[in-house]
């Protein structure tokens, strides 16, 4: 015997950044809103974000900071609910925050402040949260409603919002449900892959670079599609740091990336000056003025590093400059979803309304946040996409 469904105007799957924002906005419009999540807590990724301080947005947001097969898609949502709108909300709650490099905004105290703000807004908007709720199946009824069967009962909703996020960090409750549901409703899904993720190295590079673990250097990292100037970090597993995470979202397996460890200088000119001024100095002694000492033999080899400058021809100095300013590094792979901050690819934007996030395949179905094929750079862009897309859907669901 099938029990009677619990009815609601809007059912949102996923109590993360996008789902909570959508719920708040829909609730404020007087819609009854139920948010389901299989986790035991809402907003787990918000809590772990930005090293616990949540880089909740960026002062400088442009469509160029997002990766998608349809680069125009994000424009409408980002311009309808901007970073200034979210900052105004944060200020209304008197949450102290600060700006770091490249316009990144972080909480002074804790990411909890952002989650508590969203939960307070949900409460005011009379949103119901149902946690530890496992979705068994979702069906479209003949009268255009959605039936959602779960371990906590059977729900019926006029609007269904998929806000279950991407695949990164399965330990934090990430799951493929959003992609599966979108596919079930006839949507095309662009292949997914891990983005904003550390690189792993081939055995030989790993052995020579392992001792550099902990060193961080401002670098410019590039490939033919993108270029980022931020720190790189050597780790015991490979390479990380903001510049590496950024380029990882533009990296294809098998490709090399170019690392310029001294992006702001004419290194060859400087080496020639040193060659003339202190010919007896070893190369590593001179370069230690520019780079961490341990890095030099690891990248150039001990023999070269120990050679006095006077033994270098200008052509060999040019080769040294090339090794440090055009270091061609071929990663073995990435650390994958285990540590990635985001998922690239996802629900094809061309089958969603850029204004409302509604599906063009099924009336009443909406897809928001990371499950959509819109991936932001590091720096608060992914949360801004979640806020903006969630807000847009929240106006119409």
Ligand X SMILES: Cc1cc2nc3c(=O)[nH]c(=O)nc-3n(C[C@H](O)[C@H](O)[C@H](O)COP(=O)(O)OP(=O)(O)OC[C@H]3O[C@@H](n4cnc5c(N)ncnc54)[C@H](O)[C@@H]3O)c2cc1C
Site for ligand X contains 179 (CB under 6 A): no
Site string for ligand X, 51-90 (x = CB under 6 A): ---xx-----------------------------------
Does residue 230 bind ligand X (CB under 6 A)?
no
356 binds ligand X (CB under 6 A): no
Nearer to ligand X, 61 or 321 (CB): 61
Tell me: does residue 165 bind ligand X (CB under 6 A): yes
With contact defined as beta carbons under 8 Å apart, do 215 and 233 qualify? yes
Count of C-beta atoms within a 10 Å radius of residue 166? 29
Kindly indicate which of the ranges 116-124, 162-170, 295-303, 308-316 contains the residues binding ligand X, using the contact rule CB under 6 A.
162-170
Least CB distance to ligand X at residue 204 (A): 30
Q: Choose between 184 and 328: whose C-beta lies nearer to ligand X.
A: 184
Cα angle 344, 349, 354; round to 5: 125
38 binds ligand X (CB under 6 A): yes
User: Of 80 and 278, which CB lies nearer to ligand X in the complex structure?
Assistant: 80
Among 10, 11, 13, 33, binds ligand X (CB under 6 A): 13
Phi, psi of 229 (to 5 degrees): -115, 100
What is the size of the binding site for ligand X (CB under 6 A)?
A: 37
> CB 351: neighbour CB atoms within 10 A?
18
Quick count: other Cβ atoms within 10 Å of Cβ 316?
14
Q: Considering Cα of 81, then 84, then 89, then 92, what sign does the dihedral take? A: negative
Touching ligand X, residues 126-155 (CB under 6 A): 135
Q: Does 12 bind ligand X (CB under 6 A)?
A: no
In angstroms, the Cα distances linking 53 to 90, 156, 230, 296 are 13, 37, 20, 34
Residue 45 binding ligand X, by CB under 6 A: yes
Give yes or no for residue 393 binding ligand X (CB under 6 A). no
Q: What is the torsional sign of CA 353, 359, 364, 367? A: negative
The DSSP result for 230-245, as a single string, is EEEEE-SSEEESHHHH
d(CA 108, CA 110): 6
Applying CB under 6 A, does 380 fall inside the site for ligand X?
yes
**Cα–Cα distances in Å, from 26 out to 29, 79, 128, 370?**
5, 19, 12, 19
Q: Considering only CA atoms, which of 33, 27, 30, 29 is closest in space to residue 9?
A: 33
By CB under 6 A, residue 346 contacts ligand X: no
Question: Using the rule CB under 6 A, is 386 a contact of ligand X?
Answer: yes
| CB of 24 vs ligand X, minimal distance in Å | 13
Site string for ligand X, 277-316 (x = CB under 6 A): ----------------------------------------
- Binding residue for ligand X, selected from 19, 27, 198, 238, defined by CB under 6 A: 19
Candidates 110, 116, 152, 175; binder of ligand X (CB under 6 A) is 175
238-240 and 257-260: which strand pairing? unpaired
Beta bridge pairs of residue 130: 36
State which residue, 230 or 370, has the beta carbon closest to ligand X. Answer: 370
**By the criterion CB under 6 A, which residues form the site for ligand X?**
13-19, 36-39, 44-45, 48-50, 54-55, 135, 163-165, 168-169, 173-175, 177, 341-342, 369-370, 380-383, 386
């Amino acid at each position: 015997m099938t029990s009677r469904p619990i009815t609601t105007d809007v059912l949102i799957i996923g109590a993360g950044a996008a789902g909570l924002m959508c719920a708040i906005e829909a609730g404020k419009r007087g819609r009854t809103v139920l948010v389901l999540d299989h986790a035991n807590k809402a907003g787990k990724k918000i809590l772990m974000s930005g090293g616990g301080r949540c880089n909740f947005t960026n002062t400088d947001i442009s469509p160029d900071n997002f990766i998608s097969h349809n680069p125009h898609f994000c424009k409408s949502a980002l311009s309808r609910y901007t970073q200034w709108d979210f900052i105004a909300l944060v200020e209304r709650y008197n949450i102290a925050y600060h700006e770091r490099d490249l316009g990144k905004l972080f909480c002074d105290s804790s990411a909890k402040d952002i989650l508590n703000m969203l939960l307070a807004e949900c409460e005011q908007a009379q949103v119901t949260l149902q946690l530890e709720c496992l979705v068994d199946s979702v069906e479209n009824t003949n009268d255009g409603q959605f039936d959602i069967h779960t371990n906590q009962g059977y729900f019926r909703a006029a609007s269904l919002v998929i806000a279950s996020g991407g695949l990164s960090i399965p330990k934090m409750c990430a799951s493929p449900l959003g992609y599966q549901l979108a596919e079930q409703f006839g949507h095309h899904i662009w292949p997914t892959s891990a983005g904003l993720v550390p690189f792993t190295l081939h055995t030989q590079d790993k052995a020579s670079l392992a001792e550099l673990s902990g060193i961080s250097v401002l670098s410019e990292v590039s490939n033919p599609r993108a270029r980022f100037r931020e720190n790189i970090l050597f780790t015991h597993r490979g390479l990380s740091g903001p510049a590496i995470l950024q380029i990882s979202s533009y990296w294809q397996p098998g490709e090399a990336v170019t690392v310029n460890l001294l992006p702001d200088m004419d290194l060859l000119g400087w080496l020639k000056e040193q060659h003339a001024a202190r010919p007896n100095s070893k190369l590593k002694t001179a370069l230690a003025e520019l780079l961490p000492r341990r890095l030099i033999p690891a990248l150039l080899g001990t023999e070269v590093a120990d050679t006095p400058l006077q033994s270098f021809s200008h052509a060999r100095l040019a080769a040294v400059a090339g090794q440090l300013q055009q270091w061609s590094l071929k990663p073995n792979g990435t650390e994958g979803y285990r540590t990635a901050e985001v998922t690239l690819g996802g629900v094809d934007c061309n089958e969603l309304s850029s204004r409302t996030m509604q599906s063009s395949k099924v009336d009443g179905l909406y897809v928001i946040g990371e499950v959509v094929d819109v991936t932001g750079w590091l720096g608060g862009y992914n949360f801004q996409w979640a806020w903006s897309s969630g807000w847009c859907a929240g106006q119409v669901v």
